């Protein structure tokens, strides 16, 4: 049963999660920028994604014992559940309001120092986001296309000059920009996967859309045959 305040408003952590998510991303971005000074934007973006994604935050929540303190209407083992990661975001959001940004930075560094988080291990872990996305689409028989454009190098100069858009069932689902076609494909696929994993309704909508298109196509073919 959801708790309410004296005025009947539902009490939850969603606002703190929103704030914590932004603080975590800022802290991680600053950390990576200083730690990997020779790396390009593509590497930093991929690393930030690995560090702030729900699966990583869930692991941190479990390692520091935060998941044992959570009271929720569904269990932490439920499919597509990110309760631990959400609670961690809320914790960081509350810490920011109470102690400020610098304390959040110190907290993040303490997680690394104590071995709860290992950025170097994550850096060595290669993931082929494009292959994972293609496998998901193939499994659900969904049509996917990668559209890549090369921007004018004179205009971009030191900026990534390849931009890739991921089109699924005629919907623009995400895009990525990289120094090579491969990098832009990987960044675009990663963003789409994150969107699908963190918002199950998006995945359901794509599957339903594909099903309805197939039904319409079958009906149209049947009419033409007759």
Instruction: List active site positions.
Output: 21, 89
- The H or E element that residue 173 is part of is strand 171-178
Phi first, then psi, for residue 8 (nearest 5°) are 90, 5
| Cβ atoms < 10 Å from Cβ of 112 | 14
The Cα–Cα gap between 31 and 173 comes to 29
| Cβ atoms < 10 Å from Cβ of 220 | 10
Residue 168, SS3 per DSSP: strand
Contacts 24+ apart (CB under 8 A), 130-138: 130/185, 130/186, 130/189, 132/189, 132/193, 133/166, 133/189, 133/192, 133/193, 136/193, 136/196, 137/168
| Contacting residues for 29 by C-beta, under 8 A, at least 6 apart | 44, 48
The Cα–Cα gap between 111 and 113 comes to 6
């Amino acid at each position: 049963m959801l708790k309410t305040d004296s005025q009947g408003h539902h009490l939850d952590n969603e606002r703190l999660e929103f704030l914590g998510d932004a603080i975590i991303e800022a802290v991680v971005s600053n950390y990576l920028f200083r730690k990997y000074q020779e790396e390009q934007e593509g590497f930093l973006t991929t690393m930030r994604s690995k560090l702030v994604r729900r699966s990583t935050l869930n692991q941190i929540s479990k390692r520091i014992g935060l998941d044992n303190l959570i009271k929720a209407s569904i269990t932490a083992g439920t499919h597509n559940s990110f309760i631990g990661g959400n609670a961690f975001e809320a914790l960081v959001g509350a810490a920011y309001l109470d102690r400020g940004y610098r304390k959040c930075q110190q907290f993040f560094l303490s997680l690394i120092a104590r071995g709860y988080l290992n950025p170097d291990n994550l850096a060595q872990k290669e993931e082929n986001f494009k292959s994972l996305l293609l496998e998901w689409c193939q499994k659900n028989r969904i049509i996917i296309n990668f559209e890549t454009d090369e921007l004018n190098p004179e205009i971009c100069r030191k900026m990534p000059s390849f931009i890739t858009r991921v089109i699924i069932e005629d919907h623009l689902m995400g895009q990525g920009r990289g120094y090579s076609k491969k990098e832009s494909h990987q960044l675009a696929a990663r963003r789409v996967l994150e969107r699908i994993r963190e918002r199950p309704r998006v995945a359901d909508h794509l599957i339903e859309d594909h099903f309805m298109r197939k039904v319409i196509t079958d009906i149209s073919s049947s009419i033409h045959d007759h």
